[in-house]
A and B are shown apart, each in its own frame.
Chain A
């Protein structure tokens, strides 16, 4: 039986999925897939890794679905996102060695050419920034990296990050500050070179 998405809110869908309905679980997948994919992609910058993380997230969620307690203070999306965060950290930790290899060309091209970019200089500059950023992010701990991604790219509040990462707001602030400090330090030369180039032009 196919369920009409509009007629069922998330709680009802979760309830149905817990009762074993694959259709309800599919609708939960449809509702949340982009959010998990976006997180995984910002974290890994690799489409294949992101797809793996997204699949792992939903598979883990399915097998833990019975343990998810429906209530006023619980939210499936938050719960799923937390699984996504853990899957991303685990995935990158496991594939650290593989990550050290050069990023595939198609991924790099996609990163350096966002939509509406017609200027090749812009694309080149963007690519340089991205490469530099990747190098710096690789020097951070997985936790610092995740907190930075959640704050800077996913634009979550410190409070939300603390909730997702299961730690205090003070700890999030400390880790975020460390991550930004490393970035600032590593980008110092890059910024001065850039200014010099701009001045030359």
Chain B
């Protein structure tokens, strides 16, 4: 055995990382090499010195404070990530931008119809197609209701099919501005049908309840999601919407 190898092996020897055969080789070399014997004595001396500091144990940390720091960081970030993930994984038609755009189109349409019907002159009324004219105001309202239901349907279906177990940590997150816009649209339509169509009024009132629930719920609250789901099922909203649009 060479001195260089012996000096390396004596470190592994003291750390208990050497096989018995290699240990014997090291000891045999040390016995006949005074240089390595001196190195062996010095290495053991350094190890003994270092071992004196081994007893030092890590002091007790302020575990509660540490946990609070960890908790604050992890909860804060996971909320933001969840929101982002829900946004990314939601089907294209469910993303806030699309819903918002669709809602805006419907609101403009409803307002247009409303204004066109009551504030235009006789001349402009003649420009309306004969079919539409024949349908009268109730035709415009029916069309607006259908558009409104079409906009809301994907959202309601998502909540109606929501399952905390299947969806795991995922929750449905929507921009509050969109919900607000849908609520306004719902309110306008309700005003239009309040005296003429009691069935539509009833559904719009139910929808108002659901939208308000969604508006007020925390984004990561699975329990609130289930509440909305129950509300949709309890009041048969989807079924009533289908019936009303087919009539």
Question: A157 contacts B52, CB within 8 Å?
Answer: no
Question: B74 contacts A173, CB within 8 Å?
Answer: no
CB-CB under 8 A from B59, the residues of chain A are: 41, 47, 110
CB-CB under 8 A from B67, the residues of chain A are: 26, 29
CB-CB under 8 A from A59, the residues of chain B are: 70, 73-74
CA A63 to CA B77, docked complex, whole Å: 8
Does B15 touch A at the CB level, under 8 Å? yes
CA A12 to CA B169, docked complex, whole Å: 17
Do A37 and B42 form a contact, CB below 8 Å, given A26-B67, A126-B52, A183-B50?
no
8 Å CB interface, B146-176 against A = 168-169
CB-CB under 8 A from A34, the residues of chain B are: 58
8 Å CB interface, B166-212 against A = 168-169
Chain B interface residue count, Cβ-Cβ cutoff 8 angstroms: 34
8 Å CB interface, A51-66 against B = 51, 54-55, 58-59, 62-63
Does B43 touch A at the CB level, under 8 Å? yes
CB-CB under 8 A from B17, the residues of chain A are: 157-158
Q: Report the minimal beta-carbon distance from B173 to chain A, rounded to whole angstroms.
A: 15
Does B54 touch A at the CB level, under 8 Å? yes
Do A37 and B58 form a contact, CB below 8 Å, given A62-B74, A184-B43?
yes
CA A104 to CA B124, docked complex, whole Å: 87
CB-CB under 8 A from A79, the residues of chain B are: none
Do A38 and B57 form a contact, CB below 8 Å, given A26-B67, A177-B11, A187-B49?
yes
CA A185 to CA B58, docked complex, whole Å: 28
How large, as a class, is the contact surface on chain A? 35 or more
Does B53 touch A at the CB level, under 8 Å? yes
Do A126 and B53 form a contact, CB below 8 Å, given A59-B70, A59-B73, A177-B11?
yes
Q: Report the minimal beta-carbon distance from A117 to chain B, rounded to whole angstroms.
A: 9
- Mask: chain A, 149-160; 1 = CB below 8 Å from B; 0 = not: 001110001100
B residues neighboring A (CB under 8 Å): 8, 11-12, 15, 17, 42-43, 45-46, 49-50, 52-59, 61-63, 66-67, 69-71, 73-75, 77-78, 168-169
29 A-B pairs whose Cβ atoms sit less than 8 Å apart in the complex: A20-B78, A26-B67, A29-B67, A33-B63, A34-B58, A41-B59, A47-B59, A50-B58, A51-B62, A54-B66, A59-B70, A59-B73, A59-B74, A62-B74, A63-B74, A110-B56, A114-B56, A129-B53, A130-B56, A133-B50, A152-B15, A153-B54, A158-B15, A158-B17, A180-B43, A184-B46, A188-B42, A190-B49, A191-B46
A residues neighboring B (CB under 8 Å): 19-20, 22, 25-26, 29, 33-34, 37-38, 40-42, 47, 50-51, 54-55, 58-59, 62-63, 110-111, 114-115, 125-126, 129-130, 133, 151-153, 157-158, 173, 176-177, 180, 183-184, 187-188, 190-191
Q: A130-B56, A173-B8, A191-B46 are in contact. List 8 more A-B contacts (CB 8 A).
A: A20-B169, A29-B67, A54-B61, A62-B78, A114-B56, A130-B53, A180-B11, A191-B49
